[in-house]
Amino acid sequence: MKRILFFCILLFSFAGYSQNPFVDRDHAIFHPPLSGRNVGYKITVTLDTLSHIVKGKESIYWLNNTQFSTKVLYFHLYMNAFKNNSTIMMKNIEKLRHKILGIKLTPETAGYCSIKNIAVNFNNLTDYFHVEGTVGVLHLPFDVKPGESVMIELEFETKLPRIMIRSGYAGSFHFVGQWYPKLGVFQDNGKWYCPEYDGNGEFFSDFGVYQVKLTLPSYFIVTGTGLVVSERIEGDVRKVYFYAEDVHDFAFVAWDKFRVLSKKVKGKTLYVYYFKEHEKIAKRELDALERVFNWYNKNIGEYPYPDYKVIDVPFNGLGASGMEYENFSTSFSLSLFPDWLRATESTVVHEFGHAYWQGMVATNEHRQAWADEGLNSFFEGILMDRFYGECSEMKFHVFCENGFSRFESPNFEVLKYEKPDKEASEFVSRGSYGLASYNKFALTLKTIANLEGEDVVIDAAREFFNQYKFKHPDGKEFVKILNEKTDNKYKRLLNLVLFDVGFPDAKVLKVEKKCEPYFIGYNNRDVFYREREKSGKRNCKSYFYRVVVAKRELPLDVNGIVTFKSGKVEHFIIPADKNIIELKFPVEKTDRLESVYLDPDRKIMIDLDRSNNLYRYKPSLFENRLAVLVFNMLMELFAYVF
């Protein structure tokens, strides 16, 4: 009876805090709440840093905020993806795990997430809980109707894998992400969204409140999502209480070698957690974090949380580098990186951007990765150019023109068959997922920015953020805003690029020198005029070059330039509504067309095959052989004289 009474008090005593019973009134962060908070997690666990096992209890509050009832609950058990060699995840990352990282899957390096028992509203339903892969399904003996809530209590054990991708351990370094049983999302269509964790795509879950109490060895330093409300050492253990509001996930990092660098910026605290050998790199990471933090706050919107952390990952844990989580991210850095190689900074810039697009706007990353990764990659490109100069990640300008050069790829051919707007699990490979979700949309946005100005895309992103933060919008809402700001000039292009297998490409099809003959009348049989011949030689009235240029799935004006040996230069445009045009350029008999170049200013970054944009004159076989002969004769003469 006391337990039931406590449950009732817990559910109804916090009505002033969005009705979420896990709001800590003594440490509440946001008034009013920033999100709907229809979930809450209270987790009490111990991390064994020798066995790499996280074990404990978890309470979950869930409010059905849809118009549909449900008699089933779905749970993510992410670490089961690392349970054995036959999981979808292990098959998808076999090359990364085995050939690159050299990790064999053994009982020590494998991972799992196991629920020992589970109850809902004090009804033990363990026998009704079934697991398949990384998804657990609980069948309820009652309906959870619209507007009703349930309290779930469970005991679980998670074994962290050796770090291969994102989560796990490497030596004493522990990156603990996707580690606890987590509810899927009950959508407005009355269906649960809880896909298998397969390595492609990322995560999608409801905003809520987290209370996490963690026990671990006293000599470990730990940080993670939210604020550390209390921390104390009792004997040989450290007890830490984390509290977070209006986030959709919780992760933490623990290591016995961490050092901390911090700085107050605009009332928030920016941290870098690093190790001794990376002290110099940590200063670069903090500088990059401050730059991108200030830019986003000024140009997109306020970062509301009290702090943000960058985690400098050790070399043996690089599989966890370059990852984003609520209120923190991991960096990618090596001690051998020179100051001019800004790969470290670009990782910080990219991952912080996720705090806005993945963290606060929170589109469905598994269903529409492009809405986060593509948009975020665009901002990474323009901000790296602004902060550190063009090609700051490479500095070898022979290989690079600007911050978007690295998004170009010789492997775009696969995008003729893979569209960005689909489930991550539907991509044929991790490579095609990356090209479609990151590169393709980033290059599309850069194209629009080149033609309209970067401020147009920034304005659209700002409006998207401020209108949809904490609301889980469809990525199409950003496209709609961008179309409105550009008078629908790029609507067809965006539809082709995102929602179809559009492969924009401009191409020089044909270049040939032609003769304009004298007219002497019609031939009765062939019915066309013939040129006059004198002494068996063709007699031309004049000469011209016939040039055929084309484009496919590229509804934009494409500029072109033609150069001649004489120094003459001609400009032309393939209109947006044309796919192919023929051009005619009169020349003197001795003049020669040297080159035809489509989009010479490289504004159309979404042209996915630039290898066919340029035609250059190539000497004939006779001319080549003649040149070789002359060269050899000169060398013989040189040898004879000297």
In a domain, 347, yes or no: no
Mean pLDDT of 29-42: 97
- Give the chain's mean pLDDT: 90
Q: Identify the domain boundary among 480, 502, 524.
A: 502
H/E stretch holding 434: helix 430-434
Selection from 378, 330, 376, 332 nearest residue 354 by Cα: 376
The terminus-to-terminus CA distance of the chain in angstroms comes to: 111
Domain around 593:
505-624
Q: How confident is the model at residue 10 (pLDDT cuts 50, 70, 90)?
A: very low
Identify the CA nearest to 426 among candidates 366, 485, 470, 476.
Answer: 366
Output the pLDDT for position 269: 98
- pLDDT score, position 540: 83
Q: Which residues contact 455 (CB under 8 A, 6 or more apart)?
A: none
Residues 193 and 92 in one domain: yes
CATH number reported for the structural domain that contains residue 471 in this entry: 1.10.390.10
Determine the residue type at 141.
P
pLDDT at 626 over 90: no
**Whether residue 140 sits in one domain with residue 85:** yes
Amino acid (one-letter) located at 444: T
- The alpha-carbon radius of gyration of the chain (Å, integer) is 31
In the predicted structure, residue 3 carries a pLDDT above the cut 70? no
Whether residue 89 is found in the same domain as residue 164: yes
CA dist., res. 140 & res. 128, Å (int): 8
Let me know whether 269 and 201 are in one domain.
no
Residue type, 585: F
Backbone angles phi, psi at 484, to 5 degrees: -65, -35
Tens digits of residue pLDDT in 522-531: 655 555 545 4
Task: Categorize the per-residue pLDDT at 622 as very low, low, confident or very high, splitting at 50, 70 and 90.
Answer: low
DSSP helix/strand/coil, 560:
strand
Q: What is the pLDDT of residue 96?
A: 75
* pLDDT the model gives residue 520: 60
Please say if the pLDDT value at position 25 is more than 90: yes
DSSP H or E run through 582: strand 580-587
SS3 88: helix
Note whether 457 and 515 are same-domain residues: no
- Give the whole-angstrom CA distance, residue 166 versus residue 158: 15
In this model, does residue 317 exceed pLDDT 70? Answer: yes
**Sheet (strand 505-517) strand order:** 505-517, 540-552, 580-587
Same-domain pairing of 494 and 535: no
> Sorting pLDDT into bands at 50, 70 and 90, what band is 52?
very high
Mind listing the pLDDT tens digit for each residue in 230-268? 999 999 999 999 999 999 999 999 999 999 999 999 999
* Identity of the amino acid at 291: R
pLDDT of residue 545: 97
DSSP code for 391: T
What is the Cα–Cα distance from 44 to 181, expressed in whole angstroms? 13
Q: Where are the alpha helices (DSSP H) in 469-539?
A: 476-485, 491-499
> What tokens appear for 217 in the block?
């060895």
pLDDT given at position 526:
53
For a pLDDT cut of 90, what percent of the chain falls above it?
78
Tell whether 515 is covered by a domain. Answer: yes
Partners of 410 in beta bridges: none
The CATH number given to whatever domain includes residue 513 is: 2.60.40.10
Query: Under a CB-based contact definition with an 8 Å cutoff, are residues 403 and 381 in contact?
Result: yes
Q: How far, in Å, CA of 506 to CA of 608, rounded?
A: 9
Is 352 part of a structural domain of the chain?
Answer: no
Report residue 328 as tokens.
């923190």
> Span 104-132, mean pLDDT?
96
Do 555 and 484 share a domain, yes or no?
A: no
- C-alpha 193/C-alpha 183 separation (Å) is 9
Q: What is the mean pLDDT of residues 27-38?
A: 96
Residue 106 near residue 153, CB atoms below 8 Å: no
305 pLDDT higher than 90 = yes
Q: What angle do CA 543, 545, 547 make, to 5 degrees?
A: 160
User: What pLDDT was estimated at residue 202?
Assistant: 82
Q: What is the Cα 273 distance to its own chain's centre?
A: 23
Pair (166, 236) in one structural domain: yes
| Secondary structure in 3-state letters for 187-246 | CCCCCEECCCCCCCCCCCCCCEEEEEEEEEECCCEEEECCEEEEEEEECCEEEEEEEEEE
Q: How far is CA 215 from CA 47, 168, 237, in A?
A: 6, 17, 7
Rounded distance, CA 333 to CA 313, Å? 8
Among 469, 502, 535, residue at a domain's last position: 502
The per-residue pLDDT for range 76-108, each reduced to its tens digit, is 999 999 999 999 888 888 877 766 777 888 999
Decide which of 467, 502, 537 is a domain's last residue. Answer: 502
Query: Please, which residues have CB within 8 angstroms of residue 335's CB and are 6 or more apart in sequence?
Result: 277, 278, 281
- Do 106 and 171 lie in one domain? The reply is yes
Pick the range with the lowest mean pLDDT from 19-23, 138-142, 376-380: 19-23
Give the pLDDT of residue 399.
60
633 within domain boundaries:
no
The answer to whether residue 346 sits within a structural domain is no
CA-to-CA distance for 425 and 401, rounded, in angstroms?
34
Residue 343 lies in a domain: no
Helices (H) and strands (E) in the chain, counts: 13, 32
Q: Would you say residue 281 lies in a domain?
A: yes
Find, among 382, 450, 3, 328, the residue nearest to 392 by Cα: 382
Residue 334: predicted pLDDT: 86
CA 493 → CA 14, 147, 316, 506, distances in Å? Answer: 49, 42, 43, 14
Tokens representing residue 91 in the block: 């098959």
CB contact set of 81 (below 8 Å; sequence gap of 6+): 87, 88, 89, 90, 111, 133, 134, 196, 197, 198, 199
Number of domains in the chain: 4
Q: What string of DSSP letters covers 329-361?
A: EE----TT--TT-THHHHHHHHHHHHHHIIIII
> Do 270 and 149 share a structural domain?
no
What does the pLDDT look like over 440-471, one tens digit per residue?
999 999 999 999 999 999 999 999 999 999 99
Domain match, 220 and 323 both: no
- 254-258, 280-284, 407-411, 493-497: which has the minimum mean pLDDT? 407-411
Q: Please indicate, yes or no, if residue 311 is contained in any of the structural domains.
A: yes
Domain with residue 234: its CATH number is 2.60.40.1730
Q: What is the CATH number of the domain that holds 321?
A: 3.30.2010.30
Q: What is the pLDDT of residue 337?
A: 82
Q: 427: closest CA among 440, 408, 442?
A: 440
Dmax over CA atoms of the chain, in Å, equals 118
Cα(252)–Cα(496) distance, integer angstroms = 40
Which residue(s) pair with 559 in the sheet? 573
Q: Which of 143-152, 168-177, 385-394, 406-415 has the lowest mean pLDDT?
A: 385-394
∠ CA 291-295-301 to the nearest 5 degrees?
140
Taking residues 126-140, report their average pLDDT.
97
Q: Residue 403's pLDDT band (boundaries 50, 70, 90)?
A: confident
Secondary structure letter of residue 258 according to DSSP: -
Q: What's the pLDDT score for residue 9?
A: 42
Please report the pLDDT score of residue 13 as a whole number.
38
Percent of the chain with pLDDT over 70: 89
Q: Which residues of 191-201 are buried (b: 16+ CB within 10 A; e: fewer)?
A: ebebbbbbbbb
Per-residue pLDDT tens digits for 364-402: 999 999 999 999 999 999 999 999 988 777 655 556 767
Token pair listed for 610: 């630039």
**Residue 535: pLDDT above 50?**
no
Would you say 365 and 202 are in contact if contact means Cβ atoms under 8 Å apart? yes
At 632, the pLDDT band (50, 70, 90 cuts) reads: low
Residue 615 has pLDDT above 70, yes or no: yes
- Of the pLDDT bands very low, low, confident and very high (cuts 50, 70, 90), residue 641 is very low
> Does residue 209 sit in the same domain as residue 76?
yes
